[in-house]
Amino acid sequence: MDKKFNVSVLGGGSFGTVLANLSAKNGLDTYLWVRDSELALKINSESANRDYHPELKLSKKIFASEILSECVCNADLIFIATPSSIIENVVDRIKPLIKDDVVLISCTKGLIGKPTRTITDYIKDQLMEKPALERLGVLSGPNLAREIADEKVAGSVIASQSQHSKDLVINALESKIFKLYSSNDIKGVEYAGALKNIYAIGCGIGYQLNIGENANGLIISRAMAEISQFAVHKGAKPITFLGLAGMGDLIATCTSKLSRNFSVGIEIAKGLSLDDASQKIGQVAEGVNTLKIVYEEAIESNLTMPILSSLYTIIYQNQDSKSLLENLINHRDQLDVKFE
């Protein structure tokens, strides 16, 4: 695909910034929507987003703006990389502005509750008959933004029913340091990315309590069992969780202090409240909100998820962090894998 196209990234946070830079370094005119006019001016004048990546020199082909219409009206490819808490507002605002043939890709690893929906579920509900609905997709994988900014090798999965959408994303982002794989399982890739944040909090707790590598392996593997159980219940394909968007992302997020959710877990195990831990991290940890949404549906659907339940009582009911491992050991379930 030699034809140039316009890219827009909505969200000038940690991941949105490196995503825009990958696109721009591939020679594409890239708009970066941020909510703060001062930040937009600084990014354009300094070629840097010092709020998130002070050492990263951004491509001159990035143009930052706080004016949403300026960023989306002429975009052929739009990446949505905002926190899940503002997704509904953002989608509502871009709906009348986007081109009919635009490719929309969600990069937000969160969920919307009551009823439990993925970000693309919500976008589908809002777009309804718009042609862009057919080109919807998800980008997810082990993508710690700091490492991508430092030009360390990473990979991700682009999931869509549209081959055109997958091709466009691969052409926009793939480089010598960023490898892309494709999938048709939008639900699986999206649920994998959202749910692993919950369990990264648990692994952060385990790290701070010095539970050891064996116990950490226990938590990660049982976390994958719970994630896949819930996601398959919601319509995902089991095989997806063996791949980069599933196990790959879970391992990276559950073992790195660069993960916001892992870091929140560390602070909670130190005795900080959820509010204090979140304030200390200084960025949105999506797993906190996702935990509440998934816990409520698991109860309603009679799904057995002991790690999830323990994390809920620790974070929302002030139970001792040490109960995480104790509850897992005492749980009576002895079957390792529950689906084929």
pLDDT per residue over 25-73, tens digit each?
999 999 999 999 999 999 999 999 999 999 999 999 999 999 999 999 9
Examine the domain organization and report whether 174 and 261 are in the same domain: no
Average pLDDT rounded to a whole number, residues 319-324:
94
Beta-carbon-side half-sphere exposure of residue 300 (alpha carbons within 13 Å): 10
Examine the domain organization and report whether 171 and 108 are in the same domain: yes
Examine the domain organization and report whether 156 and 63 are in the same domain: yes
The answer to whether residue 143 scores a pLDDT higher than 90 is yes
Examine the domain organization and report whether 216 and 117 are in the same domain: no
The catalytic position among 196, 234, 292, 338 is 196
Q: Is 196 a catalytic residue?
A: yes
CATH number at residue 225: 1.10.1040.10
| Domain limit, last residue, from 184, 206, 235 | 184
Is 204 inside a domain boundary?
yes
Examine the domain organization and report whether 180 and 130 are in the same domain: yes
CA 318-323-328 angle, 5° bins: 135
Examine the domain organization and report whether 18 and 154 are in the same domain: yes
Q: Are 144 and 254 contacting, i.e. CB atoms less than 8 angstroms apart?
A: no
The per-residue b/e assignment along 181-190, b for 16 or more CB within 10 angstroms, e otherwise, is bebebbbbbb
| Domain limit, last residue, from 131, 155, 184 | 184
Is 336 inside a domain boundary?
no
CATH number at residue 63: 3.40.50.720
For 280-300, write each residue's pLDDT tens digit.
987 778 899 999 999 999 999
Is 36 inside a domain boundary?
yes
The answer to whether residue 99 scores a pLDDT higher than 80 is yes
The parent domain of residue 106 ranges over 7-184
Average pLDDT rounded to a whole number, residues 263-272:
95
Examine the domain organization and report whether 163 and 198 are in the same domain: no
| Domain limit, last residue, from 184, 205, 240 | 184
Examine the domain organization and report whether 46 and 107 are in the same domain: yes
Is 239 inside a domain boundary?
yes
Examine the domain organization and report whether 108 and 255 are in the same domain: no
Longest dimension (CA), the chain: 60
Is 1 inside a domain boundary?
no
The answer to whether residue 1 scores a pLDDT higher than 70 is no
Is 340 inside a domain boundary?
no
Question: What is the count of structural domains for the chain?
Answer: 2
Examine the domain organization and report whether 34 and 155 are in the same domain: yes
The residue written with tokens 């001792």 in the block is 320
Q: State the pTM of this model.
A: 0.94
Examine the domain organization and report whether 20 and 140 are in the same domain: yes
Is 124 inside a domain boundary?
yes
Is 293 inside a domain boundary?
yes
Examine the domain organization and report whether 120 and 167 are in the same domain: yes
